[in-house]
Structure 1
C-alpha cells in the first residue's frame, strides 16, 4: 500500500495511448477517476516522446521495444494491483500480456469492458484465459468506469 496516499499502487494496462482519441479519454477521464481511489502507475508516462522519436529516427526500433517492455515490467512488479481496459473487438494483445504477467506475480487484477461486442467464447466476457486470470486473482471485469471506480474504492 502506498504510504503517502493510503491507496494501492495500481498499474493501468490499456492501449489508449496509441491514438489521439484514446489519449484524450485516458488523460482527461480515466486516470483522474482512478486517482481518486488508487495510486495510479501510468505506463504511458514511463517513456518520453523524445525517447520514442530519438529511437525511431535512428532506426533503433528493437531497442525502443525492449526499453518500453522492461520499464513496463518493472512498473508492474512495483505495484500491488493492475487495472486493465479491455475494450475493442479483441482486447489489446499488450494489455492481455500485462494481465498474464500480473497474474503470475500474484497481483489482484480488475478490468473494465464498456464495448458491447462479443470478444470471447460464448459465456465469457472476453477471451476465456484473460477472464480466468482476472477472476482467479480475486478481481472482476465490470461494464463501466463508474463501476470500476466503485469496485476499486471498496476493495
Structure 2
C-alpha cells in the first residue's frame, strides 16, 4: 500500500497519551499497511532534552524559540509529504496544534480522518461533533470523522483506499 499518514495528536505530551498512541492507536493503522509520519519523532529527542535541562531563564526561552521553528518546519514538511492526515480529536476541545495541522492539510488538498473517542460534548452546536471549522476541514476533501477505534479501519479504507 505505502500510503503515508501524518498523525496529528496531542497524545505525545503525556506518558498516558504516548502509551495509548503507540500501544493502541498506531498499531491499528500500521496493521492496515499505512506508513506513519509521526511528528513526535521528527525532531531529535536529544535536542529537546538538552533544552529541557537548561535552567529557567532567557537562554532556555531563546533556545525553545529556535527549536519551535525546527519542530514546526519538520511537521509542515511531513504533512506536505503525506497522503493525508489521521487526527486524534479527544479532549474538552480539539488540541490547537492538531486543529492547525488539520487546517494545513486541508489547505494542501489532503484528506483527513478524524478520530474522537472522547464522549464529552465538544461541538459548537447540536449539528457537529467537534468545532465547526475543524469538522469542515476534515470533511472538505472527502475525509471522515469516527467515534470508535473499531471504525477507524473502515474510514481509512474509504478515504485512502
Same fold (TM over 0.5): yes
Distance in 1, Cα, partners of 2:12 & 2:119: 21
Give the CA deviation at 1:151: 1.6
The gaps in structure 2 that reach 5 residues or longer are: none
Correspondence for 1:55 among 30, 51, 54: 51
Distance in 1, Cα, partners of 2:49 & 2:70: 13
Provide, for residues 3-51 of structure 1, a one-character-per-residue CA deviation record: whole Å limited to 9, x for no partner: xxx2311101000000010000111111111112221111111112211
Aligned residues: 150
Correspondence for 2:89 among 86, 91, 111: 86
Partner-residue secondary structure (3-state), 2:87: strand
Q: What's the counterpart of residue 70 of structure 2?
A: 67
Partner-residue secondary structure (3-state), 1:95: helix
RMSD: 1.2
Correspondence for 1:110 among 110, 113, 133: 113
TM-score by length of 1: 0.92
Correspondence for 2:11 among 2, 16, 41: 16
Provide, for residues 87-121 of structure 1, a one-character-per-residue CA deviation record: whole Å limited to 9, x for no partner: 00001000000000000000011100011111121
Partner-residue secondary structure (3-state), 1:110: strand
Distance in 1, Cα, partners of 2:2 & 2:46: 31
Distance in 1, Cα, partners of 2:150 & 2:35: 17
Q: What's the counterpart of residue 139 of structure 1?
A: 143
Q: What's the counterpart of residue 123 of structure 2?
A: 120
Partner-residue secondary structure (3-state), 2:121: coil
TM-score by length of 2: 0.89
- Runs of 4 or more consecutive aligned structure 1 residues displaced over 2 Å after TM superposition: 55-58
